[in-house]
């Protein structure tokens, strides 16, 4: 994965953590949260898992170890 | 100890525990002094770049989460309801932001012996004036952090002792303790005390969350009450609310991630593996810190309705007091909560103070006196720390309420520093002039918008977007067009 794609994945997940598409004035309840809150929390947890993976897999690439300056 | 006022939140044993905690900080400060290897800036401000995983993680944790997490966050959840779930995302976004620059910055810091954020700016942009401007902006933002946190310390100590120790005395007493352990061992003492403070914070947050869950029930049990009592909590956010949500994520992502004291910790890591592992743990910490405090605030909204806006910031304490009527031994949890809140605040103040001292010494004083040796520079840094804490304590006690709103300008300023770091690390052909002008224009816009809000009553967040983000948008636009022209 290129650096740009890593940045896009992180930015996209953060953008999607906002419940943009929820408009129902009486949302259903999921595990004690309104559906839009449950959605946001789920995307946030996904963000944490993906970021932890990216840190583990691509840290060296992101540090530009092969580029001398 | 028989004259403890009835209004005191702490019992006699609680006050003893609190004093022991403060004493432990001084002992750790002395230990930091004994462990000092050499009298150099790198050893004093970066602990000789030798922080291992355990201490690095806890110092990052204690620094990122201030007393606001324990006091402000439940209050905000009490007032905003489910929308404050954003608090979990915003704290995670900070770690996501580090991925944009920390891996490379840490490598460069080791190679070129960076001490401060100004060292990187100088290395990358080769401009004294830009480095000094960034340094001044960081110092102002950090001074604001210290001021607001010192004031919070004063209130907590006064409430904890029922006025036995006054607001003013509380500020002075804790400031003296902070400055003593910091002067003794620099980053080593600060990081070690942060480790104690981080553990206390984690235990305090977890304990109050578990007890609240057991006593009042969790999210499911408060959901029905809130549907009836606060239907606005259940309704999805409006378009402006969603903008505010995204704007808050952005201002934390770009503002908090470039805290000079956080960058100092990136430089202090023993190696890249240590830093990498710390971030991998840190990314999950909002789930056991901010989410827990969000639930506490929401339970407060369901079980203790009608609390005023100011009172809602004490909702966690109000729940503890409410439980004390039916559960014996609750005084222990109150003690833990107050100690954890104080620990969280102290760890933020000591880190910000150390960062200010290093910024002044390395980026300003060293330029004025280039012949100074390492020992002299370390001494100057220590003296400057004492001056800063004395001035900040005085201002925290004496500053008129009207001026206090100015101290809210922190993240708005730091946001304007972010492009120099994020873009500087990632874009090779980025020139100095565009970043300098972008920074200046962005800062002027953000400060002007906040000043207009305070003095003229204009909207603080037009379309739900923070002044700092408006400034950042213009900042980036200026950089884009000027850099295109330069190339």
Distance CA B341, CA B156 (A): 8
CA of B192: how far to CAs of B186, B196, B383, in Å?
10, 7, 22
Select the residue from B53, B77, B85 to test the A interface by mutation, using most A Cβ atoms within 10 A. B85
Q: pLDDT tens digit string along B182-214? A: 999 888 888 888 888 889 889 988 988 998 888
Give the residue on A whose Cα is nearest the Cα of B225: A32
Distance CA A30, CA A42 (A): 11
Question: What's residue B316's pLDDT?
Answer: 83
Q: Give which of B353, B355, B400, B361 is closest to B378, Cα–Cα.
A: B361
The answer for residues whose C-beta is within 8 angstroms of residue A5's C-beta and 6 or more apart is: none
Q: Which residues of B fall within a CB distance of 8 Å from A44?
A: 85, 88-89, 92, 286
Cβ B442 vs Cβ B471: under 8 Å: yes
Q: Give which of A37, A51, A44 is closest to A9, Cα–Cα.
A: A51
Q: pLDDT tens digit string along B111-166? A: 999 999 999 999 999 999 999 999 999 999 999 889 888 888 888 888 888 888 89
Select the residue from A6, A14, A25 to test the B interface by mutation, using most B Cβ atoms within 10 A. A14
Question: What's residue B257's pLDDT?
Answer: 93
Q: Which residues of A fall within a CB distance of 8 Å from B283?
A: 48, 51-52, 55
Distance CA A52, CA B282 (A): 9
Distance CA B482, CA B438 (A): 9
B405 has a chain A CB within 8 A of its CB? no
Candidate from A32, A33, A59 with C-beta closest to B103: A59
Pull the structure tokens for residue B219: 């999210």
Tell me the pLDDT band of B66, cut-offs 50, 70 and 90: confident
Output the 3-class SS for B141-172.
HHHHHHHHHHHHHHHHHHHHCCCCCCHHHHHH
Residue predicted with more confidence, B285 or B9: B285
Pull the structure tokens for residue B162: 């029922």
* Chain A nearest CA to B226, separation (Å): 10
The mean per-residue pLDDT over the stretch B419-445 comes to 95
DSSP state of A31: T
Q: Give which of A60, A23, A48 is closest to B88, Cα–Cα.
A: A48
- Residue reference for tokens 């809000």: B453
Q: pLDDT tens digit string along A27-65? A: 899 999 999 999 999 999 999 999 999 999 999 989 876
Cβ B277 vs Cβ B103: under 8 Å: no
Question: What's residue B294's pLDDT?
Answer: 94
Q: Which residues of B fall within a CB distance of 8 Å from A18?
A: 86, 242, 245-246, 249
Distance CA B434, CA A2 (A): 26
Give the residue on A whose Cα is nearest the Cα of B224: A32
Cβ B162 vs Cβ B4: under 8 Å: yes
The mean per-residue pLDDT over the stretch B172-177 comes to 94
Residue B404 predicted with pLDDT over 60: no
Q: Hey, are the CB atoms on B249 and A17 less than 8 Å from each other?
A: yes
Residue predicted with more confidence, B329 or B64: B64
* Chain A nearest CA to B108, separation (Å): 9
Question: What's residue B415's pLDDT?
Answer: 94
Give the residue on A whose Cα is nearest the Cα of B428: A69
Select the residue from B236, B247, B291, B421 to test the A interface by mutation, using most A Cβ atoms within 10 A. B236
Tell me the pLDDT band of B449, cut-offs 50, 70 and 90: very high
Coil, helix or strand for A34?
strand
Cβ B142 vs Cβ B352: under 8 Å: yes
C-alpha count within 13 angstroms, C-beta hemisphere, residue B190: 31
Set out the domains of chain B in order of their start, with CATH numbers: 12-401 (1.20.1730.10), 427-487 (no CATH)
Question: What's residue B408's pLDDT?
Answer: 66
B280 has a chain A CB within 8 A of its CB? yes
Q: Hey, are the CB atoms on A14 and B96 less than 8 Å from each other?
A: yes
The answer for residues whose C-beta is within 8 angstroms of residue A18's C-beta and 6 or more apart is: A40, B86, B242, B245, B246, B249
Q: Hey, are the CB atoms on B89 and A64 less than 8 Å from each other?
A: no
Tell me the pLDDT band of B281, cut-offs 50, 70 and 90: very high
Give the residue on A whose Cα is nearest the Cα of B220: A32
Distance CA B354, CA B217 (A): 42
- Residue reference for tokens 């100690």: B339
Distance CA B170, CA A38 (A): 42
Quick one: which H or E segment has residue B331?
helix B330-358
Residue predicted with more confidence, B28 or B403: B28
- ipTM associated with this complex: 0.95
Distance CA B66, CA B72 (A): 10
What percentage of chain B carries pLDDT values higher than 70?
98
SS percent in chain A: helix, strand, coil, step 5 = 60, 5, 35
Query: How long, in residues, is chain B?
Result: 487
Tell me the pLDDT band of B422, cut-offs 50, 70 and 90: very high
Cβ B31 vs Cβ B187: under 8 Å: no
Residue predicted with more confidence, B291 or B311: B291
Q: pLDDT tens digit string along B222-261? A: 998 898 889 899 999 999 999 999 999 999 999 999 999 9
Distance CA B197, CA B178 (A): 13
In terms of C-beta density within 10 A (0-12 exposed, 13-18 middle, 19 or more buried), how is residue A68 classed?
exposed
φ and ψ of B46, to 5 deg: -125, 15
Question: What's residue A34's pLDDT?
Answer: 95
Q: Hey, are the CB atoms on B85 and A27 less than 8 Å from each other?
A: no
Candidate from A20, A62, A65 with C-beta closest to B99: A62
* Chain B nearest CA to A37, separation (Å): 6
Give the residue on A whose Cα is nearest the Cα of B234: A34
Cα four-point dihedral sign B179, B180, B182, B184: positive
Pull the structure tokens for residue B78: 């009490």
């Amino acid at each position: 994965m290129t650096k740009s794609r890593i940045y896009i994945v992180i930015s996209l997940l953060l953008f999607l953590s906002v419940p943009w598409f929820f408009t129902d004035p009486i949302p259903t309840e999921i595990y004690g949260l309104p559906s839009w809150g449950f959605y946001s929390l789920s995307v946030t947890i996904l963000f944490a898992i993906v970021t932890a993976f990216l840190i583990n897999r691509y840290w060296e690439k992101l540090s530009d170890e092969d580029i001398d300056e | 100890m028989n004259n403890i006022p009835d209004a005191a939140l702490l019992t006699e044993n609680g006050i003893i525990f609190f004093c022991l905690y403060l004493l432990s900080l001084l002992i750790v400060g002395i230990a930091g002094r004994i462990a000092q290897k050499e009298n150099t800036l790198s050893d004093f401000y970066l602990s000789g770049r030798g922080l291992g995983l355990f201490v690095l993680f806890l110092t990052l944790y204690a620094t990122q989460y201030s007393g606001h997490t324990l006091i402000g966050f439940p209050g905000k959840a009490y007032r905003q309801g489910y929308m404050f779930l954003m608090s979990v995302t915003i704290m995670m976004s900070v770690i996501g932001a580090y991925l944009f620059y920390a891996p490379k910055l840490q490598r460069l810091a080791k190679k070129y012996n960076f001490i401060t954020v100004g060292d990187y700016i100088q290395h990358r942009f080769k401009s004294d004036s830009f480095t000094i401007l960034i340094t001044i902006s960081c110092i102002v933002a950090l001074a604001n952090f210290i001021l607001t946190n010192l004031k919070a310390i004063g209130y907590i100590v006064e409430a904890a002792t029922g006025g036995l120790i006054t607001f003013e005395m509380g500020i002075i007493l804790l400031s003296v303790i902070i400055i003593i352990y910091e002067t003794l061992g620099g980053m080593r003492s600060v990081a070690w005390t942060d480790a104690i403070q981080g553990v206390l914070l984690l235990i305090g947050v977890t304990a109050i969350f578990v007890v609240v869950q057991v006593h009042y029930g969790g999210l499911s049990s408060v959901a029905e009450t809130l549907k009836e009592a606060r239907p606005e909590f259940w309704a999805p956010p409006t378009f402006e609310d969603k903008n505010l949500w995204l704007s808050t994520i952005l201002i934390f992502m770009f503002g908090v991630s470039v805290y000079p004291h956080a960058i100092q910790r990136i430089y202090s890591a023993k190696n890249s593996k240590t830093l990498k592992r710390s971030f991998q743990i840190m990314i999950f910490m909002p789930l056991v810190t901010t989410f827990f405090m969000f639930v506490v605030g929401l339970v407060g909204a369901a079980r203790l309705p009608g609390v005023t806006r100011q009172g809602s910031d004490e909702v966690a304490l109000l729940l503890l007091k409410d439980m004390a009527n039916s559960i014996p031994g609750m005084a222990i949890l109150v003690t833990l909560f107050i100690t954890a809140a104080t620990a969280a605040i102290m760890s933020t103040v000591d880190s910000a103070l150390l960062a200010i001292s290093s910024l002044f010494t390395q980026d300003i004083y060293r330029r004025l006196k280039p012949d100074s040796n390492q020992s002299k520079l370390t001494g100057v840094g220590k003296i400057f720390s004492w001056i800063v804490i004395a001035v900040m304590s005085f201002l925290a006690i004496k500053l008129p309420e009207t001026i206090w709103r100015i101290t809210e300008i922190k993240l708005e300023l730091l946001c304007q520093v972010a492009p120099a770091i994020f873009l500087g690390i990632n874009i090779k052909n980025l020139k100095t002039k565009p970043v300098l002008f972008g920074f200046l224009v962005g800062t002027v816009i953000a400060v002007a918008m906040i000043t207009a809000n305070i003095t003229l009553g204009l909207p603080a967040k037009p379309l739900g977007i923070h002044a700092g983000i408006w400034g950042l948008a213009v900042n980036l636009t200026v950089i884009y067009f000027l850099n295109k022209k330069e190339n």
